[in-house]
Amino acid sequence: MIVTLLLPLILAFIMFSLGLGLNSKDFTQVLKFPKAFFMGLTNQLILLPIVVFALISIFEFGKELAVGMMILAFSPGGVTTNVLTRMVQGNVPLSISMTAVTSLLSIITVPIMISITVRHFMGADAPEIDITKLGVQMFLITGLPVILGMVFTKLSPARVEKIAPACSKVSMSLFVFIMFAALAKNWEMVLSNLPKLGPALVVLNLALLAIGLLTSKLAKLDKKDGFTIAIETGIQNGTLGVAVGVLIAANVAGSVTLPPTTVPSAVYGITMYVVSLPILLWLRKSLKTAGI
């Protein structure tokens, strides 16, 4: 029931809440921050998968967890990045623009990259991934809800202003629910792999935040933009990672369970906050100290 009905609905609602308050200008906002946007996009699409691939090699994960790690790498930051950017007083319009663009872009990039990843790690045992079908499914549960949220905003901006905060809180609660559901379903695998998976995800979170800060400094971005790019680089959409793992299993074998490929995203949904929040609070303090 969770997989066949609740999970798609939960992700769709989360993406709908992302669409609330968005308008066409948010997609053109990137033109105001071209250097920052290009840096964030490069980190997200190129550096992040490279880092995850390196960690898979170092920690020697099995096939299914390796695929799950790469699914996480291909899942761009969701609503959470906007919330955290606002928390550290970063560049919220830049964060919203990046999230909107990368979320819609993922409808194309994720199916293609996952098909390559599955063939690489599973070899002869690799199932055939229907890229078109997976892309359509992702559009229905991610792209379409964002568009509907934008349409609702256009038609009733006053009402959206009232309900958007509540929708954001509900989205975060649903995010927590689906993470724990995936962990509970694969509890034995979680326990047996936690000694490797936990440290790997902590290292991943730290490395990506550091990469975001370093590349921003090399690009000579100001602190607000730099911190925003660090968050967009270092925070992934765990809910999307779980959903994609489920879609692949359902398409290949008609599975109605939460497969092992969802474990990395589920564990990451917890370690992400444990690792990131202290660092982000420190970044916010540094902005206040600098009087920004």
Give the tens place of pLDDT for each residue, 18-35: 788 677 776 776 777 888
Q: What's the whole-number average pLDDT of the chain?
A: 83
Per-residue pLDDT, 87: 82
Give the pLDDT mean for 252-274.
77
The Cα 26–Cα 264 span in angstroms is 31
Q: Which of 66, 50, 68, 9 is nearest to 244 (CA)?
A: 68
Q: Which pLDDT band holds residue 51 (cuts at 50, 70, 90)?
A: very high
The Cα 232–Cα 157 span in angstroms is 27
Identity of residue 127 = P
| CA distance readout (Å), 158 to 150, 152, 164 | 13, 10, 10
Domains parsed from the chain with CATH numbers: 2-289 (1.20.1530.20)
CB 76 within 8 A of CB 237: yes
Q: Alpha-carbon Rg of the chain, whole angstroms?
A: 18
Per-residue pLDDT, 73: 92
Q: Which of 94, 42, 38, 47 is nearest to 204 (CA)?
A: 47
Q: Pick 276 or 256 by higher pLDDT.
A: 276
Give the model confidence (pLDDT) of 73-117 as tens digits: 998 877 778 888 888 888 888 888 888 888 888 888 889 999 999
The structure tokens 């975001």 sit at 212
270: tokens are 């917890």
227: tokens are 């911190």
Per-residue pLDDT, 202: 92
Q: Pick 114 or 172 by higher pLDDT.
A: 114
Per-residue pLDDT, 254: 61
CB 234 within 8 A of CB 213: no
Per-residue pLDDT, 5: 65
Per-residue pLDDT, 153: 86
The Cα 265–Cα 263 span in angstroms is 6
- What b/e readout covers 95-108, taking b as 16+ CB neighbours within 10 angstroms? bbbbbbbbbbebbe
CB 153 within 8 A of CB 164: no
Residue 4 above 60 pLDDT?
A: no
CB 14 within 8 A of CB 75: no
Q: Which of 205, 216, 218, 231 is nearest to 88 (CA)?
A: 231
| CA distance readout (Å), 233 to 73, 85, 95 | 10, 12, 11
Give the model confidence (pLDDT) of 255-265 as tens digits: 556 678 888 88
Residue 174 above 80 pLDDT?
A: no
